[in-house]
Structure 1
Amino acid sequence: MKLAVFAVLISTVAAFVAPNGVQRAATTELNAERREFLSAAAVAAGLAFPLTANAIRDYENVGYLGGSEIVDVNNANVRVYLKMPGLYPTLAGKIASNGPYNAVGDLYNIPGLSGKEKELLKKYESRFTAQKPQADYVIDRFNNGLYR
């Protein structure tokens, strides 16, 4: 009986011992191939996606859009002219509708201007500037989406 218990103990312990097998040497060939593949895949993925467009975030003439005394006639919204009595809505609409202008003097060439409207333009001429039209702001000259 003692021999049977001893045999069971030996077999139980033998179950938890690793067999003496062939020792394998670690190789780095597979790791190197995997690293090269992942590098090539990353480069291909980077070239597959188009680069993002760099939009102008800080427009240098943003002050002329209504935040100062000087107004850009090519980019400012029609409601900016509320600050100048007599311009809004009629003359302001004509200014916004007939641009772009190369110079402030081009405002006098707007078709259908009356003598009184030309006098108003002359009165406020020192408060106007004609900057290069920017697509981001030209589209909002008539309706900037702000409602009361």
Structure 2
Amino acid sequence: MKTLVRLFAILMVLISSVGFVGSAVAAELNTVDAKLTTEYGQKIDLNNEDVRGFRQLRGFYPNLASKIIKNAPYDTVEEVLDIPGISATQKQRLEDNLEKFVVTPPANELIEGGDRINPGLY
């Protein structure tokens, strides 16, 4: 009986260590984590950021940020200046902050579900 309990304990340790290794591998393959190591982690990504990410910029949240999001995706940062219907003041704000933006390919993990305008965080 003791041998059976020991074998069971060893088997449980092996199974739990496989789960730990599997989660480490999954973390390596996580697209969002990979993006955070690029400019995306330091700048506002026009194709992937939700509306809350624009709060750090004066005059962007929520109206201008919503317009930026609704007109995405962008191929270059400068394309954000071509948004139809923005005012001269909004365009000037965009021009003044172009260096704070980056454009990366849209990631489904960040934009799926249409929650970029209302991510549900209050």
Q: TM-score, normalised by structure 2?
A: 0.67
TM-superposed CA distance for 1:118, in Å, is: 0.6
- Measure the CA separation in 1 of the matches of 2:30 and 2:120: 20
- The structure with the largest alpha-carbon Rg is 1
1:1-148 matches, cutoff 5 A: 56-59=29-32, 60-62=34-36, 68=42, 70-139=43-112, 140-147=115-122
- Measure the CA separation in 2 of the matches of 1:90 and 1:134: 23
Across the two proteins, how many residue pairs are aligned to each other? 92
- Paired residues of 2:69 and 2:116 also in contact (CA < 8 A): yes
Q: Give the structure, 1 or 2, with the largest relative contact order (CA under 8 Å, sep 6 or more).
A: 2
Q: Which SS does the other structure have where 1:96 is aligned?
A: helix
- Paired residues of 2:46 and 2:103 also in contact (CA < 8 A): yes
The amino acid of 2:119's aligned partner reads N
Farther off after superposition, 134-143 or 110-119? 134-143
TM-superposed CA distance for 1:108, in Å, is: 1.0
The gaps in structure 1 that reach 5 residues or longer are: 1-53
The amino acid of 1:143's aligned partner reads N
Q: Which SS does the other structure have where 1:136 is aligned?
A: helix
TM-superposed CA distance for 1:143, in Å, is: 2.1
- Measure the CA separation in 2 of the matches of 1:136 and 1:142: 15
Cα distance per residue 1:35-90 (max 9 Å; x no partner): xxxxxxxxxxxxxxxxxxx895243223666x53x110100011111001111111
Identity %: 35
Aligned-pair RMSD on alpha carbons?
2.1
TM-superposed CA distance for 1:145, in Å, is: 2.2
- Measure the CA separation in 1 of the matches of 2:46 and 2:70: 10
- Paired residues of 2:47 and 2:73 also in contact (CA < 8 A): yes
